[in-house]
């Protein structure tokens, strides 16, 4: 075996309007744990999806054991000795654990599945990784953390020479994390290589042999883990020029009038947000920073009525309001632009017109009948105001660029005339030009007295657009920064405060 079991050289991947990977290099030695680090959106998962055959790179080469390979499917990756534990788990919940593990490769006796053999194979696998789980229990009956350990066992079952672990401890307890490290050390001793993606600094410094850092889809460098400290990793992850990316704030701030007050807000789920308190002023952009698993999205979805609240108080303009559903939030003049535009925002096959007016449809109905002329006029004015580039309002939404889709979604919520606009990753997956336009729209809104809560995983965006920043880590608020205290390293330190 050569010096490297894997070489990814100058890997490039372009999605419409955005270069996700720009000539990235990754070289992994056999029998080592190689950490892959970077902020959210740095391109880590995209790079791994190229290696695992989920995406096909637009440029560069992948060399496994000294041989150049073109990996077009996940099955091909598995056949070449590469397995992957994904960040998002998608078990078949109503089927037994053992079927989830051996799916697509069931042991057979003639034309029938040999269940007895499958039970024994699963027991042998669980013994190897020291798991005490009934092979026949349904996956849906297990906790998220146990399912994560089952997924790790499944990856081990392929006898792969390279195992990709994407945020493997995000749902694990401290004891379960220790268990995972034991498995990793065992795999390393067997000569396997682990590519380990995590934001948890102490974990990386403890388990990794080498660390590769990415930033904005580009390769920053690779270092022996023994030469790194938390501060060094942070500075290499975030160090970049932040000038001229944002429109100037050329307006007078409003007096500090509180429009929203949240006190001691708790989720009924123990691993979600707990004891969150903050306030939002009129004409202010409050940024919320944090890493994967910080529960920022869960928090704002609860304020918008999409998730349950166990306890706590929400006040709007000094009066308590109880949000049970989205209708309550809309009535209180609160709007939410969701994080996953394609999954929870865009109706792809419907027209731009329908997508624009769908949240304010009742305004354009008379005696239960929609007034097409009013709908068209409202959509036309809103989309024109936001400079949406579309051939016609009848164009299918899925045919617009990501940036124009995002502007339509903002137009949709502006037609509901909100006082408070919650923007969850407002510029994810859109190009620089469209980002600038959305930033300009945001500043125009606060200039007019609206208030914005903005979740962003892009550090320059967070510090470039926010007036104040609230940082969260693992469901809790770890600190607030005023404009004159903004510092990338301090945000990252607060974002990893509980990650020991």
Beta carbons within 8 Å of 161's beta carbon, 6+ residues apart? 5, 30, 65, 81, 82, 191, 192, 193
Write out the residue limits of the CATH 3.40.50.300 domain(s) in the chain: 6-238, 258-495
As a whole number, the mean pLDDT across the chain is 88
SS3 of 387-419: CCCCCCCCCEHHHCCHHHHHHHHHHHHHCCCCC
Query: How far is residue 39's CA from residue 409's CA, in Å, rounded to a whole number?
Result: 26
Euclidean distance between CA atoms 354 and 104, whole angstroms: 42
Q: Is the pLDDT of residue 199 over 50?
A: yes
pLDDT tens track for 347-389:
878 888 889 988 887 888 787 777 788 888 888 988 888 888 8
- Cα 226 from Cα 4, distance rounded (Å): 19
Q: Which fold has domain 258-495?
A: Rossmann fold (3.40.50)
pLDDT score at 239? 66
Q: Helix, strand, coil shares of the chain as percentages rounded to 5?
A: 35, 25, 40
Whole-number Å distance between alpha carbons of 82 and 480: 42
What is the per-residue pLDDT across 163-179, written as a single tens digit (0 to 9) for each? 999 888 766 777 888 88
Q: Averaged over 191-196, what is the pLDDT?
A: 94
Which carries the bigger pLDDT value, residue 198 or residue 39?
198
74-81 mean pLDDT? 92
pLDDT reading at 241 higher than 50: no
For helices 372-385 and 402-414, the axis angle rounded to 10 degrees is 120
Let me know if domain 6-238 sits in CATH 3.40.50.11310: no
Cα 191 to Cα 335: distance, rounded to the nearest angstrom: 52
Query: By C-alpha distance, which of 215, 261, 264, 249 is closest to 460?
Result: 215
- What share of the chain in percent tops pLDDT 70? 94
Using CA atoms, how far apart are residues 292 and 294, in angstroms rounded to an integer?
6
Kindly state the average pLDDT of the residues 132-139.
91
Residue length of the chain: 500
- d(CA 80, CA 76) in angstroms, rounded, equals 6
């Amino acid at each position: 075996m050569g010096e490297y079991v894997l070489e990814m050289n100058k890997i490039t991947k372009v999605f419409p309007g955005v270069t996700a990977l720009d000539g990235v290099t990754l070289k992994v030695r056999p029998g080592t744990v190689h950490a892959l680090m970077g902020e959210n959106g740095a391109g880590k998962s995209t790079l791994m999806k190229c290696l695992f055959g989920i995406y096909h790179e637009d440029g560069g080469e992948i060399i496994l054991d000294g041989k150049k390979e073109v990996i077009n499917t996940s099955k091909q990756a598995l056949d070449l000795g590469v397995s992957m534990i994904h960040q998002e788990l998608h078990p078949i919940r109503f089927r037994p654990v053992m079927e989830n593990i051996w799916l697509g490769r069931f042991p057979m006796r003639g034309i029938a599945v040999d269940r007895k053999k499958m039970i024994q194979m699963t027991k042998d696998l669980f013994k190897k990784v020291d798991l005490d789980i009934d092979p026949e229990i349904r996956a849906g009956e297990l906790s998220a953390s146990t399912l994560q350990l089952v997924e790790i066992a499944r990856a081990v079952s392929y006898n792969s020479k390279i195992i990709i672990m994407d945020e493997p401890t995000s749902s694990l307890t401290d004891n379960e994390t220790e268990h995972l490290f034991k498995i990793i050390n065992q795999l390393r001793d067997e000569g396997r290589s682990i590519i380990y993606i995590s934001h948890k600094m102490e974990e990386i410094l403890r388990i990794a042999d080498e660390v590769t850092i990415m930033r904005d889809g580009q390769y920053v460098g690779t270092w022996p883990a023994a030469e790194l400290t938390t501060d060094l990793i942070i500075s290499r992850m975030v160090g970049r020029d932040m000038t001229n990316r944002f429109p100037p704030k050329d307006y007078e701030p409003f007096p500090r009038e509180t429009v929203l007050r949240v006190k001691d807000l708790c989720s009924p789920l123990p691993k979600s947000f707990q004891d969150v308190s903050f306030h939002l002023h009129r004409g202010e952009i409050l940024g919320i920073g944090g890493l994967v698993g910080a529960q920022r999205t869960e928090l704002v979805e609860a304020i918008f009525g999409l998730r349950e609240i166990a306890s706590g108080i929400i006040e709007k303009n000094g009066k308590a309001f109880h949000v049970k559903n989205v209708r309550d939030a809309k009535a209180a003049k609160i709007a939410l632009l969701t994080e996953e535009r394609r999954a929870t925002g865009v109706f792809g096959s419907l027209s731009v017109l329908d997508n624009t007016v769908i949240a304010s449809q009742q305004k354009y109905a008379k005696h239960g009948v929609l007034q097409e002329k009013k709908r068209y006029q409202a959509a036309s004015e809103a989309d024109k105001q936001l400079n949406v580039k579309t051939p016609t309002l009848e164009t299918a939404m899925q045919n617009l660029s990501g940036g124009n889709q995002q502007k339509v979604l903002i137009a949709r919520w502006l037609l509901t005339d909100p006082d408070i606009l919650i923007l969850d990753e407002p510029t994810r997956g859109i190009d620089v030009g469209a980002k600038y336009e959305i930033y300009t729209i945001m500043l125009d809104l606060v200039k007019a007295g609206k208030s914005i809560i903005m979740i962003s995983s892009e550090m320059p965006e967070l510090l470039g657009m926010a007036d104040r920043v609230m940082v969260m880590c693992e469901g809790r608020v770890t600190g607030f920064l005023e404009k004159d205290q903004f510092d990338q390293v301090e945000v990252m330190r607060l974002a990893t405060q509980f990650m020991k």
